[in-house]
Structure 1
Amino acid sequence: MKSVTRSLRILEAVAQHQPVTVGELTKLFGLPKSTVQRTLVTLSEAGWLRANRKDTTRWEIGARVLAVRPAALQGSSLFAAAREPMIRLRDAVNETIHLSVPDALQCMVVVDRVDCTHAVRTFHAIGDTSPLHATATGRAVLAYLPRADVDELVARGLERFGEATPTDAGQLHAELERVRADGWSVNRNQHRPDVCAVAAAILGEDGVPLATVAISMPDSRYDASRLSELGGLVADTAAEIGVRRHGG
């Protein structure tokens, strides 16, 4: 149990001081550098920590922490602001509604879900992660990030999940321009086969994307003639959540 306790304390310390170096943690705990480094690597392999993307000698919280955060998130302003509008959106379209947050440029993480009543529906568990470039939720976020961040993501390589997945800079930037023009993004089988979604970003007061709300449906119920209607509904819901979160 000593090693488990040590790992948890190091995890808590990273959360408090991130981004933090091995040396800083060594001084903080009075442990051998090799022990701290080994613990960090183990936590990283499990998804709890990751190296900072701008300085890989520093460590910060990873996606796994976001995945187990929903219980705590229920008391947050985002969760409180989003829940009622998500239910109303579900009632309006009878499709599954997801609330997701970005983990830097690593992925999107599902933090809440309101299910539809259809026997056949899409399913993303709370804590599920997905790539930014291949999903409606991810591109809804990317559209409002600085160009340098998008270029950094492209430089890492854009994995292909299907024929429609944007895998080069020009294709991705063209999609992001459409998102900015429309106010919402769409994914038709670009990440998971037979899964479609329409999403919009929830913006902070400074215009930074904090989260996304999405309508998710199987391809069998995707209707291109309703795309503008669904996009308008999800964009309005995202805007309402943003206003409610700011206390408006």
Structure 2
Amino acid sequence: MKSVTRSLRILEAVAQHQPVTVGELTKLFGLPKSTVQRTLVTLNEAGWLRASRGDTTRWEIGARVLAVRPAAHQGSSLFAAAREPMCRLRDAMNETIHLSVPDGLRCMVMVDRVDCTQAVRTYHQVGDTSPMHATATGHAVLAQLSAEEVDEVIAHGLESYGEETITDAQLLRDELDRVRQDGYALNRNQYLPDVAAIAAPILAADGTPVATVAISMPASRFDPDKLEQWGRMVADAAAEISTRRME
């Protein structure tokens, strides 16, 4: 139990002081550097912490933290701004709506969901993760990042999850160009079979992608003729959430 308590306290300290170094945490807790380092690595492997992208010697909380009891975070700017537009999008489409956030460049984490009333629908648990390169949510984020950051994702490998997964670096870059131009991303069976999704980025004031909103449906209900209409609806919802976050 002591190790669990220590891990939770270190997690809390990182959240309070992030981005923070091992040395700073060692001084704060009076623990051996090796003990703090092992705890940080364990929390990182579990998805709770990550190395800061700006300085890999520093640590910050991972996006998975947001997936724990989202209702407890309803007062936060993202959840408070997103809930009403998500419900309206669900009512207009009668399909499940997802709110996801990037965990660095590692993956996307689904942090909130509004379910539809369809008897057959897609289902993902809050806290589920998905690869950046094989999902609409991931593409929506990647399209807003620098070429160097996209290259970093590519360098980690483009794992195949099926015949539709984009595993060629240039094809991925071309797809991100299309997402940038259209304002939304489409995924049809790239990650999970018989799942289609349309996603758009939620942006901070400086243009940084902080989250995505997405429609998720069985691929059998996806209608190519309605893609532009649906894509605009998702992009409009994302733009509204972006504005509401900054008010």
- TM interval, shorter chain, is over 0.9
Report the AA paired with residue 2 of structure 1: K
Correspondence 1:108 to 2:108: yes
Any unmatched runs of 5+ in structure 2?
Answer: none
Following TM superposition, by how much is the alpha carbon of 1:207 offset from its aligned partner in structure 2, in angstroms? 1.3
Partner Cα separation in structure 2 for residue 41 and residue 102 of structure 1 = 20
Residue type matched to 2:240 in 1? E
Q: 2:50 corresponds to which residue?
A: 50
Alignment gaps of 5+ in structure 1: none
- Most deviating of 87-96 and 14-23: 14-23
SS of the residue 2:132 aligns to: coil
Q: Which moved more, 1:45-54 or 1:90-99?
A: 45-54
Aligned residues of 2:63 and 2:101 also touching (Cα < 8 A): no
Q: Give the Cα separation in 2 of the matches to 1:209 and 1:62.
A: 15
CA distance in 1, matches of 2:170, 2:45: 33
Q: Alignment length, in residue pairs?
A: 247
Distance 2:137 2:209 in 1: 11
Instruction: Indicate whether 1:151 and 2:151 are aligned.
Output: yes
Q: CA deviation at 1:53?
A: 4.5
TM-score (norm 1): 0.93
Take 1:85 and 1:55, find their aligned partners in 2: how far apart are those partners? 35
Shift of 1:59: 2.6
Shift of the 207–54 alpha-carbon distance from structure 1 to 2, 3 Å rule, reads closer
Secondary structure of residue in 1 paired with 2:134? coil
Cα distance between partner residues in 2 of 1:196 and 1:29? 47
Q: Provide the rounded CA distance (Å) in 1 between the counterparts of 2:57 and 2:240.
A: 40
Paired position in structure 2 for 1:119: 119
1:145-170: per-residue Cα shift (whole Å, max 9, x none)?
11111111111111111111111220
* Structure 1 residue 143: Cα displacement: 0.6
Partner residue, 2:18: 18
Equivalent-residue separation in structure 2 for 1:43 and 1:244 (angstroms): 32
Question: Identity over the aligned pairs, expressed in percent?
Answer: 76
Residues 97-116 of structure 1: CA deviation (Å, up to 9, x unaligned):
11111111111111111111
- Distance apart, 1:134 and its partner CA: 0.6
Aligned mates of 1:85, 1:170 — CA distance in 2: 34
SS at match of 1:213: strand
Paired residue type of 2:27: K
Comparing 77-86 and 43-52, the one that deviates more: 43-52
Question: What is the aligned partner in structure 2 of residue 177 from structure 1?
Answer: 177
Q: Structure 1 residues 104-113 or 238-247, which shifts more?
A: 238-247
Q: Secondary structure at the match of 1:7?
A: helix
Matches within 5 A, 1:202-221: 202-221=202-221
Amino acid at match of 1:142: L
Q: CA RMSD in A?
A: 1.6
CA distance in 2, matches of 1:138, 1:162: 17
Partner in structure 2 of residue 128 of structure 1 = 128
The CA distance in 2 between the partners of 1:63 and 1:56, in whole Å, is 17
